[in-house]
C-alpha cells in the first residue's frame, strides 16, 4: 500500500499537525497563529499521497490531540480540522477524461462550494445541539459573551458591556465560521503549492483566476440574506450566520476577478500586495470583494477581459 518511507512521512504529518494544534493551549498569540496551520500537514500528505494517506495522518493527529485535550478535544479536532481536509482532498483528486483525451480535474469552484456546505453542515449540527442542550444558539452565544465581557471590561458600566454583547452576538457565529473556512482554503492552497513546488502533486494546480460557481448558489445566498432580514428569532439568527458562511465562495470569486484585473495592469503585483495588506489591516474590503464576486456571477467580467486580451 505505502512504502516504509511513505508510512513515516504520513506519521510525521499527523504528529506535526497535532503539535501545531496543541499550541492553542499555550495561550500565546504566536502559538494561536501557528495553530491555524494545523491542517497544512494533512493537506500536504493527502495531496501528495492520496485520500487514504490523509485519513491515516488525520487519525495519527487525533491520537496526539487526545494526550493534550482528551477524547472530546480529539473529536472536535476531527470534526473541525481532519474531516474537512479529507473531504477536500478526496474531491480535489477526482478526475475524468474529457472528449479530447485529456484529464479533467474536479473544478476549484466546486471545492469552494464543498467547503462552504461542510461549514453550513457544522452550523446546523451546532444549532440543533444547542437547541436541545441549552436555550438555543443565540442564548449560548450571549451567555459566552457575557462571561468574556465581564472579565475584559471588569469595572466598566453594565450598559457598555451590554452594548458590546448586543453588537457582537448577531455576527459572532458567522464570522467565526467564515474565518475558519478562509483558513481551510488558505491551508489547502498552501498545501497544493508546496507539493507542486517539490513535484509531488497528484493533480495540477488549478487556475483560481477562472473559478466558477453553480448558479443555484446565488439563489441560496439571496434566500439566506432575505431570511436574515425578515425572519424573526432563532430562524433569522441562523439565516444571518449561514449568510456569512455562504459569503466564502463569492469572496473567492471576487478575489479571482481582482487577480485577473491585476494581470492587465503593469503594476498589478504591487497593487495586489497593497490590497491584501488593506484587507488584513481593516477587514472591510473583504465585504466589498464578496459583493463583487456575487455581481461577477452575472456580469462575467473575467471572460470579457480574457476576450479583450486575446483581441489585443
Q: What is the pLDDT of residues 72-113, one digit of tens each?
A: 999 999 999 999 999 999 999 999 988 777 889 999 989 999
Query: What are the residue ranges of helices labelled H in the chain?
Result: 4-22, 29-35, 40-49, 51-77, 83-92, 108-133, 137-152, 158-168, 172-197, 215-230, 233-263, 268-282, 285-299, 301-311
Residues 43, 46, 51, 53, CA torsion sign: negative
47 has pLDDT over 80: yes
For residues 113 and 217, is the Cβ–Cβ distance under 8 A?
yes
Q: Which residues of 177-196 are buried (b: 16+ CB within 10 A; e: fewer)?
A: bbebbbbbbebbeebbebbb
Q: Which is nearest to 181 in space by CA: 132, 91, 118? A: 118
Q: Which three cell numbers stand for residue 159?
A: 450598559
The share of the chain scoring above pLDDT 70, in percent, equals: 93
Distance CA 79, CA 184 (A): 13
Q: Which is nearest to 231 in space by CA: 243, 239, 222, 219? A: 239
Confidence of residue 28 (pLDDT cuts 50, 70, 90): low
Reduce the secondary structure of 162-189 to three states and give it as a string: HHHHHHHCCCHHHHHHHHHHHHHHHHHH
The share of the chain scoring above pLDDT 90, in percent, equals: 41
Q: Which three cell numbers stand for residue 60?
A: 495519527
Query: Residue 86's pLDDT is what?
Result: 97
Residues 131, 175, 66, 86, CA torsion sign: positive
Which residues lie below 8 Å from residue 250, measured CB to CB, with a gap of 6+? Answer: 213, 217, 221, 290, 291, 293, 294, 297
Cell 458591556 maps to which residue? 161
Neighbours of 70 (CB within 10 A): 11
Tell me if residue 232 falls in helix, strand or coil: coil
Tell me if residue 104 falls in helix, strand or coil: strand
Query: Residue 122's pLDDT is what?
Result: 93
Distance CA 11, CA 78 (A): 16
121 has pLDDT over 90: yes
Q: What is the pLDDT of residues 247-260, one digit of tens each?
A: 899 888 888 888 77
Q: Which is nearest to 203 in space by CA: 64, 302, 93, 127? A: 93
Q: Is the pTM of this model over 0.75?
A: yes
216 has pLDDT over 60: yes
Q: Which residues of 246-272 are buried (b: 16+ CB within 10 A; e: fewer)?
A: bbbbbbbbbbbbbbbbbeeeeeeeeeb
Tell me if residue 81 falls in helix, strand or coil: helix
Residue 54 DSSP one-character state: H
Amino acid at each position: 500500500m505505502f512504502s516504509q518511507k511513505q508510512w513515516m512521512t504520513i506519521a510525521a504529518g499527523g504528529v506535526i499537525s497535532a503539535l501545531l494544534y496543541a499550541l492553542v493551549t499555550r495561550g500565546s498569540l504566536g502559538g494561536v497563529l501557528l495553530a491555524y496551520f494545523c491542517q497544512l500537514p494533512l493537506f500536504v500528505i493527502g495531496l501528495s499521497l492520496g485520500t487514504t494517506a490523509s485519513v491515516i495522518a488525520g487519525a495519527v493527529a487525533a491520537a496526539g490531540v487526545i494526550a493534550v485535550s482528551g477524547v472530546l478535544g480529539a473529536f472536535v479536532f476531527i470534526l473541525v480540522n481532519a474531516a474537512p481536509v479529507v473531504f477536500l482532498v478526496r474531491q480535489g483528486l477526482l478526475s475524468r477524461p474529457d472528449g479530447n483525451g485529456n484529464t479533467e480535474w474536479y473544478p476549484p469552484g466546486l471545492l469552494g462550494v464543498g467547503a462552504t456546505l461542510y461549514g453550513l453542515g457544522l452550523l446546523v449540527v451546532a444549532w440543533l445541539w444547542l437547541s436541545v442542550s441549552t436555550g438555543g444558539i443565540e442564548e449560548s452565544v450571549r451567555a459566552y459573551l457575557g462571561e468574556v465581557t465581564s472579565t475584559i471590561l471588569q469595572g466598566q458600566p453594565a450598559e457598555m458591556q451590554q452594548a458590546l454583547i448586543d453588537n457582537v452576538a448577531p455576527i459572532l457565529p458567522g464570522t467565526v465560521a467564515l474565518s475558519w473556512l478562509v483558513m481551510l482554503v488558505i491551508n489547502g492552497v498552501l498545501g497544493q503549492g508546496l507539493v507542486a513546488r517539490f513535484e509531488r502533486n497528484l493533480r495540477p494546480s488549478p487556475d483560481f483566476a477562472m473559478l466558477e460557481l453553480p448558479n443555484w448558489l446565488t439563489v441560496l445566498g439571496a434566500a439566506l440574506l432575505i431570511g436574515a432580514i425578515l425572519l424573526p428569532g432563532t430562524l433569522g439568527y441562523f439565516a444571518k450566520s449561514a449568510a456569512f458562511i455562504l459569503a466564502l465562495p463569492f469572496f473567492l470569486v471576487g478575489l479571482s476577478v481582482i487577480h485577473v484585473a491585476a494581470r492587465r495592469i503593469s503594476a498589478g503585483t504591487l497593487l495586489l500586495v497593497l490590497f491584501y495588506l488593506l484587507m488584513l489591516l481593516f477587514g472591510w474590503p473583504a465585504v466589498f470583494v464578496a459583493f463583487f464576486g456575487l455581481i461577477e456571477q452575472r456580469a462575467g467580467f473575467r471572460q470579457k477581459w480574457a476576450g479583450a486580451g486575446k483581441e489585443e
